[in-house]
Structure formats: C-alpha cells, structure tokens
Amino acid sequence: MATIARELPEVEVEPVDYLNVEHGWKSWLFTTDHKRIAFLYLISITLMFFVGGAMAVLFRINLLEPEGIFSPEVYNRLFSMHGIVMVFFFLVPSIPATLANFLIPIMIGAKDLAFPRINLLSWYIYVVGALFTLYAVIRGGVDTGWTFYTPYSSTFANSYVLAAAVGVFISGFSSILTGLNFIVTVHKMRAPGMTWSRLPLFVWSNYATGLIQVLGTPVIAITLLLLAFERVARVGIFDPDIGGDPILFQHLFWFYSHPAVYIMILPGMGVISEIMACFCQKRVFGYNFVAFSSMAIAVLSFVVWGHHMFVTGESLYLAVAFSFLTFMVAVPSAIKVFNWTATMYKGSVSFDTPMLYALGFIGLFTIGGLTGLHLATLGTDVATHGTYFVVAHFHYVMVGGMVMAFLGGLHFWWPKITGRMYPEGWSKFASLIIFIGFNLTFFPQFILGYLGMPRRYQSYPPEFQALNVLSSAGASILGIGYLIPMIYFTWSMFKGPKAGNNPWNAAGLEWQIQSPPTTFNFDTTPVVKEEAYNYGPLEDVVG
C-alpha cells in the first residue's frame, strides 16, 4: 500500500511531454520530432564547440612565447582545425539547427517542420560530415586554414585535406536541408491569422538565413569538389602550373563564405530581438525595419564577397564596387542595433541572464560591426588585411555576437526546452566571466593587427609578446566561462527547479503552451489574432 501511495502522485504530477513520451535510444535516433532533433543537434554542436575550443586554448598557449611552444606543424593544424570545426560544425548550424529547429514550428503555430524526416536526415548528414572531419583530426589534421586556399591546398599541402574537405562538403547538405525546411515551413505551415507581418523577428531572421543556406551552400560544395578534382586527378582548375587560376578559388570560396557569415549572425540577431522584447516587456521598436533589414542583409550578402580579395590584384573597378556594396550591407546591421537600443526606451527593463547576454551581444556586435568599416574601406583594408585586426573583427562578430546570442537564446528558452530553470546566480556570474574573458582575448588583437602581426603565425617578433600574453590570458578566462554554463545546464536538466509555462512573462506562442511542450506542440491549432510582441495596447506616440 505504502509503495503504491508514493508512486501514484508522481505519475499524476508528471504530464506527458516530448521528452518523457518515449524512452530508449531508438526513440531518439529515429525520432522525427523537431524538438528532439534540436536536442540531438544541441548535443552534437556542443561537442564540436568544445573540440574547436580546446584547439583554440592550445594555440593560445603556443602564442605565449614569441618562438612558440609547439612545432609549426602542430600549430598550423591547430588553427586550421579550429576554424573548420567552429565555422562549419558549430557556427553555421548553431542557432538554426537547435533553437530555430525547436522554435520555428511552435512560433508559427505548427505541429512540426514541413519535412520532419528530412529534418532527421539533416542531423545524420551533419554527423557523418563531422565524423569525416574528426577522422581528419585524428589521422593528423589538416593544415590549410579553414579557407583551403589554392594552390597550397590542392598541390602543396601534405595533410588530410581531402578528409576535411569531404567532411565540410557533406555537412553542407545538412545546412541546405535545414534551410529548405525552414523556408517551406514558414511559407506553408503558419497557423490561421499568423500573417507575415505578425511573424516573430526570430522567424524572419531564420527565414532569411534559410534563403542564404539554400542559395549559397551549393557553391561551397562545387568549390570543394573542384578542389578535390585538382588534388586527386590533377585537373588544372586552380593551380597555375597546370593551367588553373588560384584566384578563381577565392571567388568561389567567398561567394559562399561571405554569405555564410550572415548564416552565422542573422539567427543570432533574431534571438536578440526576442530577448529585448521580453525583458523590456515591449514591442520591438520598428518591427518592419528590423524584419526588412534581415532580408536586405540576405540579399546584399551575396554581392560583397570581393572585399576578401582587395589585395589579390583584383581589378580596381571591381574593388571599388565591392567596397561600396560592403558599406551598403553595413546599413541594415546598423538599423538593427539602433532599433534594439530604442526598444529599451520607455520599457520595463529587467536584467535576467538572457538580457545580460543580449546587452553583451549589442555591445560586442557594435564593436565587431564598426571595425568592419576599416576592412570595407579600401585604403585601410590594405594595411590591415591578413593581420590580427581581421581576426579580432570577425571574432567580435562571430563569438562576441553569435555565441553570445546562442547562449542568450539558450538561457531564454531553456525553461521551455527542458521545463526547468538554471541557477540564476551562477548564470549571471558566467555571463560576466565570458564578457570579460572575451574582451581580454580579442581587444588586444585589434592593436596587434594594426601593428602588423600576421594571422596564422606560429612564432612572432618579441615586441608583440605583451599583447599576445594578454590575449592568451583572456582565452583561458573565456574557456572557463564557457564551461560553467555547460555544467549548470547539465545539472538543471535533471535537478533544476520546475520552470512553469511562462517564467519570463513573455508574449509569443511558444510561451502559451506547456513546458516542455508535447510532441505536437498544440492540442488544437491556435488562431492568431494579434501582432507579435503584444505586451500591451499600442500607444501611438511616434517621435
């Protein structure tokens, strides 16, 4: 009797949700539930993030001494694998494959993505691609940098270029399928009343990201295929010795890889819009402009690739055109920053952990974006190209921006994803550590860059040591900062206090349903009757 009495309440208290509806490894590996797939992705990309991060810690240790600590062979492989793992296996899938995978169907009032099985397929493709790349790492790594520039990569490099390139090639299809799924889902699966102008900005930004993924990723696939042809069959495509053009590779590579920068940052911008609205309890200022700017970025991102090639001997007219277009793409990014700032005006601002990450994002993305001006400007790009200035710039955008947004989003939606809270004190502490560690790591690199320190150097002149030591010290703080959330999230998943359905008092369909959601998200299809971010009646005080 006593045992039954103890068991019964537990069964009743625990409602069915997507996590407890089925158990066993099969229920995960064969699932078509977008939420479970998002969880699979979350585990995979977290693993890859720590693989890539460990490499960064190692090469930052090397850079403590001007002469280096590891051999050039080891160092070159460390920075190359760091770039490949972080770009293709963390940043590109980060928010789309996890948070957006989880949230897009819920935010638009759908039961799942348009193609649930393709969604699962994309995860398997990602895993196969990641395994190829990890195989390259274990066999001894690749030493071409993540950019695979020819003819070094196609003719000269004696490392596992093909295995790494095949890994990237394969993972590209995972990215294409995710993008395709989002585009179709947003077009076809919106609940009644969920018009385009009522879409949460997170959906807009991921929709724009999907367009880039579908249109851009095939180009990197083709490029890597051509690289493999040249490396294996000696077909002269990029190597001038057999009739190729090395600059052609750069055109093809950056035709994908510049838009890919926006694959990496646009979803983060979407997260920030959601967080700002919730923790200001207020509509996002200038919704139309923020939504439109995502689309403008997606379009313009395809016509700026030449700014990576200002010092290659690119034609003067081409360079001037690319410089101009690059300034154009700065405008929609600036619009977003101004609108997020304006969202705080007359808001009711609270400083929970997600908001701390969002404010950190705005600050770091502002610095990252503004230092892009030095690189868009032809004269100053020549002085800073290929130096640590560039490294600092894109880490401010990619790490200061995207990783901050990813962590902010994870903290924001964690109660929805797991139904549990994380320890607020620890999470605030970690966000502070990350912010300090980040700036200490990357700010000195701007100074190093204009001083002339080249990227990808295993050893460097002694006058650069002080700044490098600062940067390495920052990297160790940053590394600890990233470990803390990993630990308390794992704890929270099993032991965290129950969160309730809407702990932040947020608007949006995802907060109207159970935490964690049931397999099909909604019991009945919701009918949407209001704008996004309906935190109260609109007061038409337009300034």
Partner 1 sequence: MWADSLVLAQLSLFPELASKEGANIDALYWFINIICIVMTVLIFFAIAFFAYKYRRRPHVEAMQIEGSTKLELTWSILPFLVMLIMFAWGAQAYYAAQQPPRNAMEVFVTGKQWMWKVQYPNGGSEINELHVPMNQPVKLTMASEDVIHSFSIPSFRVRHDVVPGHYDSLWFTPSKPGRYRLFCTEYCGLLHSKMVGWVNVMEEREYAEWMSGGGTGGSLSQQGETLFAQYGCSTCHLNDQQGRCPVLRGLYNKPVQLANGQTVLADDAYLRESILEPNAKIAAGFEPNIMPNFKGQISEQNVIQLIAYIKSLAPSQPASQQGPQQAPVVIAPRAQGNNRAGAAQQR
Q: Which of residues 53-92 bind partner 1 (CB under 8 A)?
A: 68, 72-73, 76
Query: How many residues line the site for partner 1 (CB under 8 A)?
Result: 110
Instruction: Give the Cα separation of 487 and 422 in Å (integer).
Output: 10
CA distances (Å), origin 363, targets 157, 315, 411: 40, 36, 19
Reduced to 3 states (helix: H, G, I; strand: E, B; else coil), residue 141 is coil
Q: Closest distance between partner 1 and the C-beta of residue 379, in Å?
A: 3
Interaction between residue 233 and partner 1 (CB under 8 A): no
Q: Which stretch binds partner 1 (CB under 8 A): 104-112, 167-175, 365-373, 516-524?
A: 365-373
Residue list 377-416, contact with partner 1 (CB under 8 A): 377-383, 385-387
- Intra-chain end-to-end CA distance of the chain, in Å: 69
414: its two tokens = 């964690």
Q: Nearest approach, Cβ of 342 to partner 1 (angstroms)?
A: 7
Nearer to partner 1, 218 or 246 (CB): 246
Which of 280, 392, 398, 434 touches partner 1 (CB under 8 A)? 280
| One residue of 28, 61, 303, 366 binding partner 1 per CB under 8 A | 366
If the CB atoms of residues 41 and 279 are measured against partner 1, the closer one turns out to be 279
Distance CA(387)–CA(487), nearest Å, equals 35
* Cβ 506 to partner 1 shortest distance, Å: 13
Instruction: Say how far apart CA 25 and CA 40 lie, in whole Å.
Output: 11
If the CB atoms of residues 111 and 455 are measured against partner 1, the closer one turns out to be: 455
Of 166 and 364, which has the nearer Cβ to partner 1? 364
What CA–CA distance (Å, rounded) separates 165 from 123? 18
Strand partners, 387: 454
Applying CB under 8 A, among 243, 425, 497, 500 the residue interacting with partner 1 is 243
Give the nearest distance from C-beta 476 to partner 1 in angstroms.
17
Q: Using CB under 8 A, pick the residue from 5, 11, 315, 529 that binds partner 1.
A: 315
Position 419 contacts partner 1 (CB under 8 A): no
Q: How far is the CB of 425 from partner 1 (least distance, A)?
A: 19
Residues of this chain, 159-218, that bind partner 1 according to CB under 8 A: none
Closer residue to partner 1, CB minimum distance, 224 or 513: 224
Q: Helices 404-418 and 246-280, interaxial angle, to 10°?
A: 50
CB of 419 to partner 1, least distance (A): 25
Binding to partner 1, residues 141-160 (CB under 8 A): 143-145, 147, 149, 151-152, 155-157
Judge contact between 469 and 392, C-beta under 8 A.
no
Return the range that interacts with partner 1 (CB under 8 A); candidates 133-141, 259-267, 323-331, 404-412. Answer: 323-331
Contact 190, 526 (CB under 8 A): no
Cβ proximity to partner 1: between 20 and 197 the closer is 197
| Residue 476 to residues 117, 332, 432, Cα–Cα distance (Å) | 41, 34, 14
Tell me the CA distances in angstroms from 217 to 150, 205, 212, 260, 309, one per residue in order: 19, 17, 8, 8, 20
Yes or no: say if 119 and 32 are a contact pair by the CB < 8 Å rule.
yes
Do residues 208 and 294 touch, judged by C-beta distance below 8 A?
A: yes
What string of DSSP letters covers 87-137?
Answer: IIIIITTHHIIIIIHHHHHHHTT-SS-S-HHHHHHHHHHHHHHHHHHHHHH
C-alpha 331/C-alpha 393 separation (Å) is 17
Residue 4 lies near partner 1 (rule: CB under 8 A): no
CA atoms within 13 A on the CB side of 383: 9
Interface with partner 1 (CB under 8 A), residue from 9, 24, 26, 288? 288
Select from 161-169, 339-347, 431-439, 511-519 the region that touches partner 1 (CB under 8 A).
339-347
Exactly one of 2, 5, 11, 538 binds partner 1 (CB under 8 A); that residue is 538
In angstroms, give the least distance from the CB of 149 to partner 1.
6
Q: Does 242 bind partner 1 (CB under 8 A)?
A: yes
| Cα 275 from Cα 353, distance rounded (Å) | 10
Binding status of residue 540 toward partner 1 by CB under 8 A: yes
Q: Which of residues 91-120 bind partner 1 (CB under 8 A)?
A: none
Q: Per-residue x/- mask for partner 1, residues 443 to 472, rule CB under 8 A?
A: ----x--xxx-xxxxxxxxxx-xxx-x---
Question: Which tokens go with 229?
Answer: 């042809």
Kindly state whether residue 339 participates in binding partner 1, applying the rule CB under 8 A. Answer: yes
Residues near 382 by beta carbon (within 8 Å), at least 6 away in sequence: 310, 311
| 289 scored as a contact of partner 1 (CB under 8 A) | yes
Does 232 help bind partner 1 (rule: CB under 8 A)? no
Q: Segment 20-39, which members bind partner 1 (CB under 8 A)?
A: none
Residue 543 interacts with partner 1 (CB under 8 A): yes or no: yes
Task: Indicate whether 502 belongs to the interface with partner 1 (CB under 8 A).
Answer: no
Category of 140 on φ-ψ map: left (φ > 0), alpha (ψ -120 to 50) or beta = left
> Tokens for 136?
């390259």
Of positions 69, 121, 128, 370, contacts partner 1 by CB under 8 A: 370
